[in-house]
Chain A
Amino acid sequence: MSFVSRGFRGRRRDSDADPNRVPPGQYVTDGFPVLSAGPTPHTPLEEWTFSIANGGERKSWTWEEFRALPSETVTVDIHCVTRWSKLDTTWEGVSVDTLLEQVEHEAPYVLAFCDGGYTTNLPIEDVTDGKAWVAFVYDGEPLDPEHGGPARLLVPHLYFWKSAKWVRGLALRDENEPGFWETYGYHLYGDPWREQRYSGD
């Protein structure tokens, strides 16, 4: 018999949101909460680069070169492991497909790396075929540093810690090497629809 919390009825605050868009255990927020492990980095744009590291080789773009790449505007739902979801968020970014096109590789995984030393791991099929972007505009404005600006990864179909803030590149990997939060017990993959919050979920 499953446990019932005596006297709990719940406010069901999400009743006006389409339940098919809210993964289990999540609630919808209109705010945009911030979560990060340390101080917000402030890398000047003239020092910023984005790189694809492929073994010993490296393909890099300066901010100007990166911004000259074709970009897309997407409207997506995002889901944070701390249980808030935010629907219909609009971003502009460069598709990861566009970046990976310029590199010959057969790597099955990527490890995103960021200012501040943060990393997160992803299977290659989760960042290709129009599933991931390096986003630099949120809601029509340049992405705020506390939300990951100048640019963050955007992988909306996974928990939002996978959408690494202050991203500076992707390292192509043969192994699924755990990133920062994954090392601390968060799930290696992080599918919100299967509630993969922590290792073993």
Chain B
Amino acid sequence: MARAAVQRRLTWQVATVDDVVHETPRVKTIVLDVPDWPGHRAGQHLDVRLTAEDGYRAEREYSIASAPGEPVAITVERLEDGEVSPYLTEELRGGDGLELRGPIGGHFVWGPENGGPLLLIGGGSGVVPLRAMLRHRERAGNDLPVRLLYSSRSLDDVIYREELDAASGGVVEVIYTLTREQPPGWTGHARRVDSELLNEVAWPPDEDARAFVCGPTSFVETVADGLVALGYPPVRVKTERFGATGR
């Protein structure tokens, strides 16, 4: 196992919101100008801290949506019963300050030095750290084959759709599955990821693919179990989950 120790102290700093990008009706990408950013790896996350005037605070963590070398960005899905995500998606605008610290995490990361081919499987906003990996691969001029399987409720809920459609082609395959609602004439997959779909999409185990799975717990559980059942060694399947945490 790679033992890339990150023992630097993480201190809070105030970043400035550079841009807020509308991704879907519920999702926005917040592009940040972070004065003292040490750099990050694709797949890492950061902590956000909100402070009210009376000192009340709420903290959450978010996956970094941008590739190493790009301005730091997070992509946030508004959760109806959330406390932090409605603020980030509805209230925050260009020029505002946002307190954060990071980057955090060193397990769910990929760089060209980690090899491939790559199998990226995301459910809903679980696509965010996978998008960072995809962009990193592209920017690094890496030509490892990659397959992204992205499960979304509907086509309108697909985050980064234009970018993913543009990236798709050649050794980059982007495969959507729309679980709840499909547009007229949809010929793609239209169900939750199951073992049959994995069998169809995943690299055969002897390709020694690096699999990254991110999404809600039940999604990650099904996909990770499915990949192990296909013959993927558990150490090749890295996971990141969103629980029912009310973020």
Contacts and interface: CB of A to CB of B under 8 A. Distances in A.
Interface string A82-98: 11100000000000000
A184 B105 contact: yes
B83 A11 contact: yes
B58 to A, nearest CB: 6
A49 B142 CA distance: 44
A5 B97 contact: yes
Contact of B9 (A146, A184, A199): A199
A83 B242 CA distance: 12
Given A5-B51, A27-B83, A39-B234, A33 B7 contact: no
Given A29-B245, A38-B239, A7 B91 contact: yes
Contact of A33 (B9, B57, B83, B244): B244
Interface stretch (B158-166, B167-175, B185-193, B219-227): B219-227
Contact of A40 (B3, B225, B235): B225
A39 B224 contact: yes
Interface in B135-160: none
A40 B238 CA distance: 11
Nearest to B86: A11
A10 interface: yes
Interface residues of A, number: 42
Contacts of A6: 91, 96-97
A8 B91 contact: yes
Contacts, number: 137
Nearest to A5: B50
B61 interface: yes
Given A3-B51, A146-B217, A184-B107, A37 B239 contact: yes
Given A10-B52, A116-B234, A185 B245 contact: no
B140 to A, nearest CB: 22
A34 interface: yes
A40 B6 CA distance: 26
A5 B59 contact: no
A200 interface: yes
Contacts of B1: 117
A6 B6 CA distance: 32
A41 B233 CA distance: 11
B83 A199 contact: no
A183 B50 contact: no
Contacts of B197: none
Interface in B209-238: 217, 221, 224-225, 227-228, 234-235, 237-238
- Leading 4 A-B pairs by shortest Cβ distance: A33-B243, A200-B9, A185-B6, A184-B106
24 contacts: A3-B99, A5-B50, A5-B99, A6-B96, A8-B50, A8-B52, A13-B246, A27-B83, A31-B244, A31-B245, A31-B246, A32-B243, A35-B243, A38-B239, A39-B224, A39-B227, A39-B228, A39-B239, A40-B221, A41-B234, A82-B245, A83-B61, A178-B5, A180-B107
Given A36-B241, A83-B245, A84-B243, 14 more contacts: A4-B52, A13-B83, A27-B83, A31-B243, A31-B245, A31-B246, A33-B245, A34-B241, A37-B108, A39-B237, A40-B225, A83-B61, A180-B107, A200-B10
Interface of B: 1, 3-10, 14, 50-53, 55-61, 83, 87, 91-92, 96-99, 104-108, 217, 221, 224-225, 227-228, 234-235, 237-239, 241-246
